[in-house]
Amino acid sequence: MFIVCASLLLGAGCTALNPFPRAAKMGDTVALAVGSPIGMTRANTTATFTSDVPGPTFGVPVDITSSIRAIFKLYADKASEVYQSGSNTGILVGSAGHEQWVTIAAIDLPITGLTVGAGNVRFNTTAVYPGVDIHINNVDIPLEILAGTGSRQSFDYQVGNFSVVDGDLGRLEARPRAVFGPAYPSAFCPCPDYGAIEVKVNMPTNFGPTIPPEFVQVIEEDLTVNTASNRNVLYGLNNGEDLTVILTSLTGKLKYYEARFSVALRAASFTATPTVTSVRYFDLNGVEITGPLPTPGGDYGVVMM
């Protein structure tokens, strides 16, 4: 049985308190939406199930951390209202400071050890819940355990050669990455507009200056629900370890907080924390103008996840 929180439809910036539906058998695979925390992973998260049924197991938490199969993000359709300017999502994104997504924790319930009847799942994580999000720590998420034995969902899918393979939810989890960007302000701040922003970073990797460009993936944070920039993003490597990311806006409505992106490596790894070497701002005519500078001269920083 696959349980997905109904509040996923609301977009990012909310913490789900009720899964839908609310019941599963021991052995079933369940998935619970846990809001939109920054940096939540299996490594920094634990989970328990506590029975509400009167008896010797009442109120006694059962550790199900080892049953967490994957923790990953779900995104809405880019053409949906969730990504539409002026929608309620804009308020949530403005508070959370990141794109509209919700984190899902998939759990293969243990086949024994849980009491049949009503109970609650609780998570505990060191991940940060930004803005107006309710932190998931010690929040009760109702889950009823049904009698009988269920089965782990394999999520089979068909590939191009008409064969069927097992779905690996672990492949949905984020790889280690470096996150670049300025501190996110209030969405209603009097932020100036730019025509272009150029960010240069140095990325020490185990390939040194010979890392192939196809091994570097730049993932832009989409905050355009709160802007009218219609931005374009380009990037390229110079001397292997030096990355240049350029954001442009033909409308000249680019906000400085849109210059947020992550870098993940394929078949490679960082050997040290990357650094921002320069950030440059331009008006619609290509004339360089002032803007927030890299730390320590400004609030532009790098976070490893």
Query: How does pLDDT run across 188-215, given as a tens digit for each residue?
Result: 567 889 999 999 999 999 998 889 999 9
297: confidence class by pLDDT, cuts 50, 70, 90: low
Euclidean distance between CA atoms 159 and 36, whole angstroms: 31
**pTM, rounded to two decimals:** 0.86
pLDDT band for position 247 (cuts 50, 70, 90):
very high
The answer to whether 260 and 177 are in contact (CB under 8 A) is: no
- Chain segment 121-153, per-residue pLDDT in tens: 999 999 998 876 789 998 999 999 999 999 888
Write the DSSP string, 203-264.
--BTTGGG--GGGEEEEE---GGG-----EEEEEEETTTEEEEEEE-TTS-B-GGG--EEEE
pLDDT interval class at 155 (50, 70, 90): confident
The domain over range 6-158+165-170 is classified in CATH as 2.60.40:
yes
Check residue 16 and give its pLDDT. 54
Vertex 190, ends 185 and 193: CA angle to 5°?
95
pLDDT at residue number 95: 79
Could you give the CA distance from residue 5 to residue 32 in angstroms, rounded to a whole number? 6
> Is CATH 2.30.30 correct for 175-304?
no
**Contact criterion met (CB below 8 Å) for 261 and 219:** yes
CATH 2.60.40 occupies which residues in the chain? 6-158+165-170, 175-304
